[in-house]
Amino acid sequence: MKRVAAVVSLLSLAAVTATACSSTSKGGSSASGGGVFTTIDGFKPGLDVNGPINPWNPKGNMFQGYNAMKLGWVKNTLTDPNQFYPGIAATWEIAPDNSSVTLHLQPNNKWSDGKPVTAEDVKLSIALAYTQGSTAFSTAPGAAGAASDVEIVDDHTVKITQDMSNPSVTFVRGVMDSFVVPAHIWKDAIPANFWDTLKASRGEGAEADKARAEITALSDKVLAFAPAKDVSSGPYTLERMNPGEALLVKNKNFYNAANVGPDQVKLLNYTGNEQIWNYLISGKLDNAPFTAVPADVMKRIGQTPGNAVVKGFSPVSVAMAFNQSKKPYDNVHVRRGLAYLINRDEVTKIASPEGGTPALTTTGIHQKPAEAWLGSELSQLEPYKLDVAKAEKEFKEAGLKKTGGKWTLPDGKPWKFTINVPAPFSDWVSAAKAVTSQLNEAGVSAEVLTSADYPLYLSELAAGKYDVGFWLVALGPAPYNIYQRLYGASNGWSILGGKIKHSAPGKDGNWMGSPETINVEGVGKVNPGELTGKLNTAPESEQKAIISQLAKAANQDLPVIQLWDYVNTQFINTSRFTGFPENDSEALRLTSGVWLQLGMIKKK
């Protein structure tokens, strides 16, 4: 018994010492320099000590902006996908016809082991990117915006040329958005003859197929490649981690080390939003990226000293998408009637009061870039404001009948409007319930069904099992990416070998089932999938006209009803650090690692 008591006493002493040491440790760090910046990595839910130090591995322990560096950091702009903050590249020159980009690397940048960052590192990283799937570095025949040549001009200059047989306006973005790793560590991950194999893969025929297969076969090896220690060119290197936290320490060799504030960064593990809420309520985090937060939790977060919210543009909207293979949703009047019955202001207030703004109308684009792309045309589109009379008119035009206060199908059979949503997405579930409540009040018998999780939801959606489901749209800023959500593979259009192909509803992942062509008022007959494909290659001057046609088509035909536009709601705590981005900053969608490396964050 005495032994047990002694052990218990020792353990209690250790716990007390830990508490004491914990505060001492943090205090000591603050005194010696820039303090400890605590955050979570939005790209890495679920830290994993088994993950390799590999930026391409989904569980890799390289964290964007901290110890993982890209050539440049994409700015959060409304319409231009080719705006960047410097990363490994200090400056860049884009050819007027977008045919090439010449990168000038940071002149004084070194890896954390003291070796200089050179053009060889960039070239090897590009080779690795080819094995992992990348917009600019793709071996797929006819891929739009793929590079055709990578040339080392000198130790600190690399020129990358686009294959102009199928160019894309997002080519430069594809290049800049690439990770760079040290060649002296990673050189064994790919064979020495890689570039010859890549050259062979660009042709046609059996030899090219074989070469492409060889490159594809490297993907697993590259993904599993695990350097023994972190050699970083970023502002921090990974010191150690446990399943709950990762500790990164300042890399004195980083080109902008003198301006990097905190000495250390602590990344906390999370697997769900509620853990982030707890961290925020307890005041632990200096920054948390966009997190959906219900109103009551928001109130509690706001009560913690120093906590504040920064808001900005987020190119994502939520929509209710129809499966037009199912009746009566193949009838545009039914879709329009439903749009007139949904009060989007109310839905947004209930589902996403802090993280969303009600959609002005349905265009396929987020409201802010829609204003920039469409200008005054936006106000001429049908806003689909709550209007029961208009809804009734549309339903009657579709042949629906109202008996006993309930709308029925044209043949008099009952009509049940069923919305499917994934159960873990609390804002979508709330929104779907709000929509069904509004529809039930208007005489449309409506219900919500939830799927156990997102993978199940997506597979059933793609299999065409749902009548109506929630769907993310407007994923910009690249216009092609935006409209691909409405008129891409899920609606029958895919790009094969640079050519647009349309598949019938129910085939090749086409679960939306829109008609292949639509008669758009004031425009004429359009093929929205073909127009979307053109957005990939059309210069900016032509893009505006195409977007105008697509916005009109989406607004008139309503393959989806846009409900709300997401707002990038970030949390910061100003008790320990200052210099956080302001509202609507172009840095807001980047990790705080990028803010730190740009020298924005300073200790208070």
Q: How far is the CB of 515 from other proteins (least distance, A)?
A: 21
Nearer to other proteins, 16 or 504 (CB): 16
Are 540 and 518 contacting, i.e. CB atoms less than 8 angstroms apart?
A: no
Q: How far is the CB of 11 from other proteins (least distance, A)?
A: 6
Residue with tokens 């029958």: 492
Q: How far is the CB of 52 from other proteins (least distance, A)?
A: 7
Q: How far is the CB of 410 from other proteins (least distance, A)?
A: 34
* Residues contacting other proteins: total by CB under 8 A: 85
Q: Looking at residues 136 to 175 of the shown chain, list those that interact with other proteins (rule: CB under 8 A).
A: 138, 140, 143-145, 170, 174
Q: Which of 6, 7, 58, 353 binds other proteins (CB under 8 A)?
A: 58
Binding of other proteins by 585 (CB under 8 A): no
Are 547 and 364 contacting, i.e. CB atoms less than 8 angstroms apart?
A: no
Q: Which of 7, 9, 59, 299 binds other proteins (CB under 8 A)?
A: 59
Q: Which of 77, 100, 106, 131 binds other proteins (CB under 8 A)?
A: 131
Q: How far is the CB of 46 from other proteins (least distance, A)?
A: 6
**Residue 448, beta-bridge partner list:** 419
| x-marked contacts with other proteins along 377-406 as a string, rule CB under 8 A | ------------------------------
How far is the CA of 388 from the CAs of 305, 337, 385, 394, in angstroms? Answer: 46, 8, 10, 10
**CA–CA distance, 477 with 474 (Å, rounded to integer):** 8
| Beta-sheet strands, E only, within 269-345 | 287-288, 307-322
**CA–CA distance, 334 with 340 (Å, rounded to integer):** 10
**Residue 499, beta-bridge partner list:** 496
Are 60 and 54 contacting, i.e. CB atoms less than 8 angstroms apart?
A: yes
Nearer to other proteins, 152 or 462 (CB): 462
Are 163 and 205 contacting, i.e. CB atoms less than 8 angstroms apart?
A: no
Nearer to other proteins, 332 or 596 (CB): 596
Q: Looking at residues 395 to 454 of the shown chain, list those that interact with other proteins (rule: CB under 8 A).
A: 453-454
Binding of other proteins by 302 (CB under 8 A): no
Q: How far is the CB of 135 from other proteins (least distance, A)?
A: 4
Q: Which of 245, 441, 521, 584 binds other proteins (CB under 8 A)?
A: 245
| x-marked contacts with other proteins along 261-300 as a string, rule CB under 8 A | -----x-xxxxx--x--xx-xx-x----------------
Helix (H, G, I), strand (E, B) or coil at 74: strand
- The helix or strand, by DSSP H or E, that contains position 247, with its residue range, turns out to be strand 245-250
Q: Looking at residues 8 to 47 of the shown chain, list those that interact with other proteins (rule: CB under 8 A).
A: 11, 13-19, 21-22, 25-26, 29, 36, 43, 46
Helix (H, G, I), strand (E, B) or coil at 115: coil
- Tokens found for residue 449: 């069904």
- Tokens found for residue 578: 């200052």
**Residue 573, beta-bridge partner list:** 307
Q: How far is the CB of 59 from other proteins (least distance, A)?
A: 4
Q: Looking at residues 60 to 119 of the shown chain, list those that interact with other proteins (rule: CB under 8 A).
A: 74
**Cβ–Cβ contacts within 10 Å for residue 28, how many?**
10
- Tokens found for residue 355: 């993280």
Q: How far is the CB of 357 from other proteins (least distance, A)?
A: 18
